[in-house]
Amino acid sequence: MKKILLLLLIAHLAMGQTKPEPTLKSVLLEQLKTTHTDKDWFVPVNIALAGLTAEQANWTDGKGNHSIGQLAHHLLFWNGRVLANFKGQDVAKFDGDNDKTFTNFDKKSWEDIVKRLDGVLADLEKFVEATDEAKLKEMYSTIAHIGTHNAYHTGQIIYIRKLQGSWEADKGVK
């Protein structure tokens, strides 16, 4: 009988040690962080871009596909635009031509684009962290789509690095 009571007590204590229930904020932050800096199911953009030279970022396969630099600029454009909108800042009118979001890349601006993208993604995480759950309910779909969008283009970046021979499999994808 004492053993049964002891087992019940241990089971009860173990159940009390469970993780806190997820919130909308925690789920959105996890999505943003795993596409920015935290390696989890896939490689985040910071790892995908790490160590690339401007020449490698400018490389294309010659078949009309985007370069890594163009993809990084595209991510910077959209993440920055969404963040500014969330913060209530003035956002320049968008003419609807998404192709233009890829074209403002040149080799001279490569390091700046990488730093700015990292900063915008970090600021987006800070924004979500500081925003209350009620407000996040109004924004959750856009934030979730940002994570998906970032993961999609990060996959393209890794694929391009594989094509050019600059990807190291120990970074997460063989």
Show the domains of the chain with their CATH numbers.
23-171 (1.20.120.450)
pLDDT in tens, 100-119: 888 767 788 999 999 999 99
Quick one: pLDDT at residue 20?
87
pLDDT-based confidence at residue 16 (cuts at 50, 70, 90): low
More confident residue, 78 or 172: 78
- The string of DSSP codes covering 109-170 is GHHHHHHHHHHHHHHHHHHHHHS-HHHHHHHHHHHHHHHHHHHHHHHHHHHHHHHHT---GG
pLDDT-based confidence at residue 7 (cuts at 50, 70, 90): low
Is residue 5's pLDDT more than 60?
A: no
**Residue 141 to residue 28: CA distance in whole angstroms:** 10
Quick one: pLDDT at residue 163?
96
**Residue 130 to residue 115: CA distance in whole angstroms:** 22
Q: Which of 83, 61, 59, 85 minimizes the C-alpha distance to 72? A: 59
More confident residue, 12 or 63: 63
Is residue 54's pLDDT more than 80?
A: yes
CB 67 within 8 A of CB 57: yes
Quick one: pLDDT at residue 50?
97
Give me the amino acid identity at 60: T
pLDDT in tens, 128-151: 999 999 999 999 999 999 999 999
pTM: 0.86
CB 49 within 8 A of CB 157: yes
If you average pLDDT over residues 49-53, what whole number do you get?
A: 96
If you average pLDDT over residues 57-66, what whole number do you get?
A: 94
Q: Give, in order, the Cα–Cα distances in Å from 79 to each of 20, 60, 140, 150.
A: 29, 23, 14, 9
Q: What is the CA radius of gyration of the chain?
A: 21
Quick one: pLDDT at residue 67?
95
If you average pLDDT over residues 1-28, what whole number do you get?
A: 74
